[in-house]
Amino acid sequence: MTNRITTLSRSVADKVVVITGAASGMGRATAFLFADEGAKVAVTDLSRERVDAVVDRIRTAGGAAHGIVLDVTDADAIIGAVEEIRAELGPIDVVVNNAGLAVGGALEDPNFEDEWMRALDVLLTPHQRLVRACLDDLKASGEGRIINIASTEGITAQRGAMPYTAAKHGVVGLTRSMAVNLGVHGITVNAICPGPILTGITEDIPDDMRDTFARRRTALRRYGDPEEVAHLTLSLALPAASYITGAIIPVDGGLTAKND
């Protein structure tokens, strides 16, 4: 088709996107997808070696990326990382709060308090810190986008994961609140709720347990691939996604729809 009929842009070319926990799983798949689509990607995670591996892969494929070692529990490091990204790639248009880990914890566990604090420290508190650090850029962008990776645990609950579930419900609440507060600046804020996805977090679960869970709990009867989640992250970051905000969207193979 030589002349387009529609008006909104479906390109993230040259947009600057910062992704936390981008050396593995969904964060890495998201980094690869944005790079494939021409965005400039700030790859951040805990280890230099793993960050560099992702950056090298993107650059080898002809994409633009800058790697930063960032522990999201370190408030000062977040501010430093954002300054570095601005200097290396330019002002930030898209924030993807993705870093995470599995945190257990039944109320009876002696270390429940530690697990609780760890869940909030890694899975919730950093999200608002990174957004505050990027806020001037997101306002100036005109097409600022924030995508928070929550979980189906952000809308439902499994046994034995109370701190994780509470933190992920917090991410959902934070997403709605940020959407309401930042809409006036044209910034959209959405949460994705992945179901069972094959990543670093789930790789140690024995194959037969994974298989049984997926067959029993999901409509599609399988685990998802990280790229299947990255696809929605990219979609929410497009300029054309300008009227989607405050949405909490499952990417869960039908897990939250299923009741049989």
CB of 195 to ligand NAI, least distance (A): 6
CB of 96 to ligand NAI, least distance (A): 10
| 127 touches 148 (CB < 8 A) | yes
CB of 4 to ligand NAI, least distance (A): 35
> Which amino acid is it at 149?
I
Nearer to ligand NAI, 52 or 71 (CB): 71
* 3-state SS, residue 135: helix
N residues, the chain: 260
CB of 103 to ligand NAI, least distance (A): 9
CA angle, residues 211, 120, 180, in degrees to nearest 5: 95
**130 to each of 51, 70, 99, how far by Cα in Å?**
18, 11, 12
Nearer to ligand NAI, 70 or 85 (CB): 70
Binding footprint of ligand NAI on the chain (CB under 6 A): 20-21, 23-27, 45-46, 70-73, 98-101, 122, 149, 151, 194, 196-197, 199-202
The CA distance from 198 to 87, in Å, is: 34
Residue pointed to by tokens 């994780």: 164
Question: What contacts 157, CB < 8 A, 6 or more positions away?
Answer: 165
| 63 touches 57 (CB < 8 A) | no
Nearer to ligand NAI, 100 or 141 (CB): 100
CB of 55 to ligand NAI, least distance (A): 14
Q: Which two tokens stand for residue 131?
A: 């957004």
Sort 7 into a burial class: Cβ within 10 Å, 0-12 / 13-18 / 19+. Answer: exposed
Backbone angles phi, psi at 146, to 5 degrees: -125, 125
> Which of 34, 164, 192, 248 is labelled catalytic?
164
Nearer to ligand NAI, 141 or 197 (CB): 197
CA-based R_g, the chain, Å: 18
Nearer to ligand NAI, 46 or 157 (CB): 46
223 is catalytic: no
The CA distance from 239 to 30, in Å, is: 17
Nearer to ligand NAI, 22 or 141 (CB): 22
Q: Name the DSSP class of 223.
A: P
CB of 3 to ligand NAI, least distance (A): 41
Instruction: Return the active site residues.
Output: 164
